A and B are shown apart, each in its own frame.
Chain A
Amino acid sequence: MPVTQEQLDEIALTRAEYDLIVDRLDREPNPVELGMFGALWSEHCAYKHSAPLLRLLPSRSPHVLSRQGAENAGAVDLGDGLVAVFKVESHNHPSAVEPLQGAATGVGGIVRDILAMGARPVALLNSLRFGPLDDPANRHLFQGVVGGISWYGNCIGVPDVAGEIYFDPCYSQNPLVNAMCVGLVEREKLATASAGAQGNVLLLVGSGTGRDGIHGASGLASRTFEEDQELRPTVQVGNPFLEKVLIEACLEALGTGWVRGIQDLGAAGLTSASIESAARAGRGVILDVSRIPRRERDMTSYEVMLSESQERMLLIVPPEGVPHVREVFEKWDVACTEIGFVTAEPEATVVDGAQTVASVPVTHLANPPRYRLKGSPSPDYQERQRLSLSDVTLEGLHPETVLLSLLASGNIASREPVFRRYDHQVQTNTVEGPGSDAAVLRLKGTDATRAMELWNGEEGEERGGPRNWAGNGGNGPKTGRWGRDTMEKAIALSIDGNGRYCYLDPYHGGQIAVAEVCRNLSCSGATPVALTDCLNFGDPGRPDVYYQLEWCVRGMAYACRALGVPVVSGNVSLYNESMGQAIFPTPIVGGLGIIEDVNKRVGSAFPSEGMVVALIGDYINRPRASDLAGSEYLQVIHGKLAGRPVIVAEYERRLQALCRRAIEERLVASAHDCSDGGLAIALAESCIRGGVGFSSSVNWPARWDAALFGERQSRIVVSLPQSAWPDLERLVAESGIPARRLGTTGGDRFRLGRLLDLSLAEVASAWHHGLEDTVRGGGQDLEEGL
């Protein structure tokens, strides 16, 4: 019976793709087989439109242990026998339909990707985009997403250490929810997702299988949608408690030494987990759906194979190991079921008891068609880039009001009202948490010195313990204290992206996305080691969207090569549009860096009074229109989105090297990237976080808006003791990057020459309260309520 267009639409396959399936099988597929093809050939699983572009990104370096796309996440060697595993993934479409569960299961899914590498999840990050919060629908999405991340992440005991949130009307109804997870594993324990030898048993562990999420990959994630209500059943429902238990049980099972392969059940559920594992080993599988524990009645084989029920993992174990692995799951009261085995013949066979319901060669399923589309810029593309300084009037503007407006604006104001809802400390590794340019996690067990007792019993005696700029202890106990002198290694983590820049210039925007995340890492003192990316774009079938995708990726690839960092994992989310409007092209880049000695790190806060504050990189003396391109200032104050952001990747590389060296040599006490809102905002943020004022005697140029609020790339604000200035000047001279003294910290004013003189309290209040009111959870205000 020929397939109907309606059936094809349901699984998002084209007629031509169907014909290709018939051609490969030399017969019509039955409905179960067709469903399996639909899932595995979906954009979400197959990268049909993006794979040729993704190959442009460099993916190798001496640190990299994984091959991009070959495993569930990228793996990099940290030294000391430790490996970091990490990946970012989108859950945009489910979050648009049901924000709380969509975001929660986004976290759950990425955590299982890390678990599938045999690693313990140690950190979560996220990157979120919403429409403006004055619209109740966007507030609903925002509250749901933040609530979902908080609910799920807190329950599983993985700290949420960093993230970013931006608002723009283009994300109304199509929020972006990108979740990143980082795991740690000893090098020899890195797991694989391969099925291994013939006769190995497939064990399904974790949750029962229900009807939730059927067609999640092909339907929600792989096409646009306008009427979302009917898609609600395709959103999965999370159980973070089960996830936590699953993490512990799987890690313990891996510890038995009997697990040959491990794979999470994510998009396309059992179908993709089993077939991808088989394909990696060049083998086949037989699965018996009648054995699979269900949580709903009368499920068909089709539904069981395509369910995206959460908190499930597939373990591949030789028969003699099954009792050992089963014992672990019995201890944790987690279901563990033999559902099939690995075959020599590379055929994926699904049986329901005695009846065969599907039988397809694995290679047919695992080799989807790939498309190279042709892009072209949208007709108004050049118009968008046109901007001259004379278009931007300073008339009626005062630097003080501009500063306060920007500090309170949704894209700049303090994120504390959000991140205080996430546990960012559990596992006790977080030494720089959310709010810094990069989060820093110390690696326990890498310290060269032994734990030592620093017990000072005498009152008033000088305390022992390490001194560093960032961690200044508690309130000073009157009696002795215990401490420990450490020289632990640390990792730095950051996630970043700027859709406005990419919209205005995809090639430079893509470069900036990579440069900025590396700059954040460098500002903490870390050497960037590897990246992961999530490409959030519209419908690639539209030439202007494909043009954006292609040039963003080319820009990212260029910057990766210039900065010497590979992309080791990633995810693509296309069809992000609602009501016919594509979102800004939004590549999100997550980065991981290494700090050899955790004590040689800095935060973004000015640590004390009397510090010299300097800008390394360009001081904007002669403003250019590109300095204002896509800036927060232009958007918030002038309501304009225009211009052409630029970056010179080679200059960026030298700037970051200079910053890292200044931190390594302990010259600077803080470093903060100049990004959204420009130099004045960076200075204000460092003051607010440090609780210390700042005064500058610089003679600012007439175009003070560009100097203070322009977003020219490759600039970092540092603070240092006066005594370190000559040494910094020496490094600066060697690097060929300019540096300029801006002023001194101290007092309770925030003063920029003759332009601006505000009390630090007023500056801080604008920044602290910008998001506060809109994001309050609906409970009683404690200060007033008690």
Chain B
Amino acid sequence: MRFGIVVFPGTWSDTDCHHAVNGVLGQEAGYIWHKETLLSGYDCIVLPGGFSYGDYLRPGAMAGLSPIMDAVKDFADSGGLVIGICNGFQILCESGLLPGALLRNKHLEYRCQWTNLRTERVDTPFTLACEPGQVLKVPVSHGEGNYYADAATLDHLESEGLVLFRYCEPSGEVTPRANPNGAARNIAGIVNAQGNVLGMMPHPERCCEEILGSVDGSLLFQSIVESVK
């Protein structure tokens, strides 16, 4: 399969994502410059982390208006897989592909640290290689990853099973202590109603090799590969 990795000015996880899917998993991958308007020949689009447009205005706000985003919306509408990581999650929220917003971390600090994620569903294209409730060790690195939505939206996400990952203890228990940024209901990642668009703050591309401290991130990419087969 072929991954398409979108590059905005200020994106910095593009090469990390490329290394994870191509260098480690051996899948094809190409970069897509944000000024392009067509997407063809890709099975999954990755919106990587970084500081697109320097996070000026709001994280993801400017990138959400980049020429490529219309094509990404069309791609998602036609059922294509889209994964937004960190800044990519912020862009998905800003462009309306996912509900809610990412606020400044509650403690007001940037945080780069390992977190544990409880996998809430394994019947999505992003998690089918995981076990139900499996705890994944994946790092975060952001200043604005505090997921927020109004109570009705949160309830809707919960009732529809759209929360895919929650920050938790290594045991899987969801506690305030395990929450690195103050996110509502410990939400680390959500999918859209169709289940083909995932936004998550943690960085799975940073943990696909033993040498980096965890290989749990590769389960996500492997799930995508399996689901496209």
Contact = CB atoms under 8 A, between A and B. Distances in A.
A744 B85 CA distance: 44
Contacts of A150: 109-110
Interface string A138-153: 0000000000001100
Interface residues on B, range: 35 or more
Given A451-B24, A785-B182, A421 B214 contact: no
Which of B131, B136, B170, B209 gathers most chain A CB within 10 Å?
B209
Nearest to B24: A484
Given A244-B12, A422-B112, A477 B131 contact: yes
Contacts of B141: 154, 423, 425-426
B156 interface: no
Interface in A148-170: 150-151, 154-157
B211 A780 contact: no
Contacts of B19: 428, 444
Interface string B1-43: 0000000011011011001100111100000010000000000
Nearest to B219: A477
A721 interface: no
B131 A475 contact: no
Contacts of B106: 779-780, 782, 785-786
A427 B15 contact: yes
Given A453-B26, A786-B176, A482 B218 contact: yes
Interface string B186-222: 0000000000000000010111111111111011001
A475 B109 contact: no
Given A427-B15, A428-B16, A778-B108, A471 B211 contact: yes
A536 B80 CA distance: 57
Interface in A425-481: 425-428, 430-431, 442, 444, 451, 453, 465-466, 468, 471-475, 477-481
Given A453-B26, A786-B176, A471 B213 contact: yes
A385 interface: no
A104 to B, nearest CB: 13
A153 to B, nearest CB: 10
A442 B23 CA distance: 14
A777 B108 contact: yes
B150 to A, nearest CB: 18
Contact of B112 (A156, A420, A478, A486): A420
Which of B12, B116, B206, B216 gathers most chain A CB within 10 Å?
B12
A156 B13 CA distance: 11
B215 A780 contact: no
**Secondary structure dominating the interface of A:** loop
Given A422-B112, A428-B206, A783-B176, A486 B211 contact: yes
Contacts of A486: 209, 211
Which of A428, A473, A478, A776 gathers most chain B CB within 10 Å?
A428
Which of A151, A156, A426, A780 gathers most chain B CB within 10 Å?
A426
B218 A481 contact: yes
Nearest to A453: B26
Interface residues on A, range: 35 or more
Nearest to B15: A427
Interface stretch (B50-58, B71-79, B157-165): B50-58
A363 interface: no
A240 interface: yes
Contacts of B25: 482
A423 B208 CA distance: 18
B179 A426 contact: no
Contacts of B53: 241
A665 interface: no
A482 B131 contact: no
Given A157-B12, A444-B19, A778-B108, A420 B113 contact: yes
B10 A483 contact: no
B139 interface: yes
B92 interface: no
B129 interface: yes
B134 A477 contact: yes
Interface in A734-786: 776-783, 785-786
A786 B182 contact: yes
B91 to A, nearest CB: 15
Interface string B111-133: 11100100000000000011100
Contact of A481 (B108, B113, B205, B219): B219
B51 A483 contact: no
Contacts of A241: 9-10, 51, 53-56
Contacts of B13: 157, 426
Given A426-B12, A474-B137, A785-B182, A431 B26 contact: no
Contacts of B54: 155, 239-242, 244
Nearest to B135: A475
Contacts of B110: 150-151, 154, 421-423
B219 A781 contact: no
A691 B155 CA distance: 39
Given A451-B24, A477-B219, A486-B211, A425 B55 contact: no
A663 B70 CA distance: 54
Contacts of B207: 474
Contacts of A154: 51, 110, 112, 141, 143
Contacts of B143: 154
A87 interface: no
Given A420-B112, A425-B141, A426-B141, A431 B212 contact: yes
B109 A421 contact: yes
Given A241-B10, A333-B9, A477-B134, A466 B211 contact: yes
Which of A150, A151, A332, A333 gathers most chain B CB within 10 Å?
A150
Interface in A391-432: 420-428, 430-431
A357 interface: no
B155 to A, nearest CB: 18
Contacts of A782: 106-107, 176-177, 179-180, 182
Contacts of A472: 213
Interface in A475-511: 475, 477-484, 486, 488
A786 B26 contact: no
A425 B206 contact: yes
Contacts of B211: 431, 442, 466, 468, 471, 486, 488, 598-599
Contacts of B24: 451, 482, 484
Nearest to A598: B211
A786 B16 CA distance: 33
Contacts of B56: 241
Nearest to B56: A241
Given A244-B10, A431-B213, A481-B215, 4 more contacts: A431-B212, A475-B137, A484-B24, A484-B210
Interface of B: 9-10, 12-13, 15-16, 19-20, 23-26, 33, 49-51, 53-56, 105-113, 116, 129-131, 134-137, 139, 141, 143, 170, 176-177, 179-180, 182, 203, 205-216, 218-219, 222
22 contacts: A150-B109, A154-B143, A241-B51, A245-B10, A421-B109, A425-B206, A425-B212, A426-B141, A431-B211, A466-B211, A471-B210, A471-B212, A474-B215, A477-B215, A486-B209, A599-B211, A781-B107, A782-B106, A782-B182, A783-B176, A786-B176, A786-B182
